[in-house]
Amino acid sequence: MADLAKRLSRIKPSPTIAVSQKARELKAAGRDVIGLGAGEPDFDTPDNIKEAAIAAIRRGETKYTAVDGTPELKAAISEKFKRDNGLDYSPAQITVGTGGKQVLYNALMATLDPGDEVIIPAPFWVSYPDMTLLAEGEPVAVPCSQNNHFKLKAEDLEKAITAKTKWVIMNSPSNPTGAAYDQDEMKAVTDVLKEHPHVWVMTDDMYEHLVYDGFTFVTPAQVEPSLYERTLTVNGVSKAYCMTGWRIGYAGGPAELIKAMSKIQSQSTSNPSSVSQAAAIEALGGPQDFIAEHNAVFRERRDMVVAALNTCPGLHCHKPEGAFYVYPSCAGAIGKTTPDGKKIQSDGEFVTYLLESEGVAAVQGEAFGLSPYFRISYATSTEALQEACARIKRACEALSD
């Protein structure tokens, strides 16, 4: 086999995808496994969106499109930014890619030189540090403690900024914690950023619409308009519109940056699927009422899971504002011994114990940069969640000192 590139040794495969894969394999081998690792809604794509895709196929929209999005989709995105976020982005300030993931990757590839630093509040979505490393940048993780509900403190951000800082990545509501910044919390962060004109803001608003209990979502360029010129506002249709497989993500930002990102895309994947782009126009511009219906179900599940986990000895679970994840602490299980005599020494060993003893697949906090915790996705049926929580409780009760 040919020698592999050195850059490959800087990164690891996505641990969340690895957990889903392991759960699938165990299931295929006949084990009764409940997967709580999924980063996607269990709801189907709404019918009107599917119909829009079918109509696009029938109209023959099956050819290459403009590299970073059709004019029609860019118009729908421009309208969305105005309607939901009060942000003005013209078509030249908008790019569309194969998922939010590609858009984030394009931005880092287009801007990072070796040694450039990217501040990433931890716990973080697993791909931010690895994408930064692939682009030859240096990820700088800033721990955000449970005491501050996993949100970035202004003073910690201030301390992390150096002359080499290129980007700060914000993600609200967060994967993996579900934490979302309200207006005041976001303002505290943007007040720091305002004072550092060389630092750019990459905000990953993928879970914008998944917020509960009347929470109002805000995004940095809206809270602090002076940051607009150096903010990339990233979003997508995967989560709120149940379209993970369609692979459409987008961003609004300064035209020069958007053009540079398009250049990367033009030499890698070209345009995102033409059919998916037509579906995304319907998603963004069509009826939005199913989002509230889904959110009512997600909120109920969140409340159920948080309450159930807080009855498990050794666990403590904070109730987050949004997304479809909870991030319980398993500090009280560390140092305990399993029925077959193994001492649990890390959150990785704790989730392995859950999988092996009770067939519950969750993801270790270590993967997200803050231990000892684990992530549970509640984007699965209420019945499966109830059963999973009962199994987790049984596993915790079986641990001894």
Ligand X SMILES: Cc1ncc(COP(=O)(O)O)c(C=O)c1O
Compare residues 175 and 295 and give the one whose CB is closer to ligand X: 175
Question: 60: helix, coil or strand?
Answer: coil
Ramachandran region of residue 99, left (φ > 0), alpha (ψ -120 to 50) or beta? left
Among 81, 89, 105, 125, binds ligand X (CB under 6 A): 125
Distance of closest approach, residue 206 Cβ to ligand X, in angstroms: 4
Distance CA 330, CA 314 (A): 6
Only segment of 93-101, 192-200, 209-217, 340-348 that touches ligand X (CB under 6 A)? 93-101
In this complex, which beta carbon is closest to ligand X, that of residue 100 or of residue 252? 100
Q: How far apart are the first and last CA of the chain?
A: 49
Closest residue to bound ligand X by CB: 99
Asked if 150 is part of the footprint of ligand X (rule: CB under 6 A), the reply reads no
Applying CB under 6 A, among 70, 172, 175, 203 the residue interacting with ligand X is: 175
- Cβ 100 to ligand X, closest distance in Å? 3
CA-nearest of 336, 335, 334, 316 to 326 is: 316
Minimum distance from CB of 45 to ligand X (Å)?
13
Measured from the CB of residue 38, what is the shortest distance to ligand X in angstroms?
9
By CB under 6 A, name the one of 140, 160, 206, 396 that touches ligand X: 206
Contact call for residue 238 and ligand X (CB under 6 A): yes
Closest contact distance (angstroms) between CB of 101 and ligand X is: 3
Structure tokens at 83: 């309607």
- Scanning 80-88, 95-103, 132-140, 362-370 for contacts with ligand X by CB under 6 A, the matching segment is 95-103
How far are the Cα atoms of 6, 211, 242 from residue 247, in angstroms, in the given order?
A: 29, 22, 11
Considering only CA atoms, which of 267, 266, 285, 287 is closest in space to residue 96? 266
Q: Which two tokens stand for residue 349?
A: 């060993």
Do the strands 374-377 and 325-326 form a parallel or antiparallel pair, or are they unpaired?
antiparallel
Residues touching ligand X, count (CB under 6 A): 13
Tell me if 105 contacts ligand X by CB under 6 A: no
Nearer to ligand X, 100 or 121 (CB): 100
For residue 67, the minimal CB distance to ligand X (Å) is 18
Distance CA 187, CA 185 (A): 5
Under the binding rule (CB under 6 A), the answer on residue 100 touching ligand X is yes
**Of the candidates 64, 36, 71, the residue with the CA atom closest to the CA atom of residue 281:** 71
| Rounded CA separation 35/355 (Å) | 9
Should residue 178 be labelled a site residue for ligand X when binding is judged by CB under 6 A? Answer: no
- How far apart CA 139 and CA 276 sit, in angstroms, is 32
CA-closest candidate to residue 360, choices 294, 321, 307, 305: 305
89 touches 79 (CB < 8 A): no
Residues 1-60 that bind ligand X (CB under 6 A): 39
Stretch that binds ligand X, among 18-26, 83-91, 96-104, 162-170 (CB under 6 A): 96-104
Give residues in contact with ligand X (CB under 6 A).
39, 99-101, 125, 171, 175, 204, 206, 236, 238, 244, 249
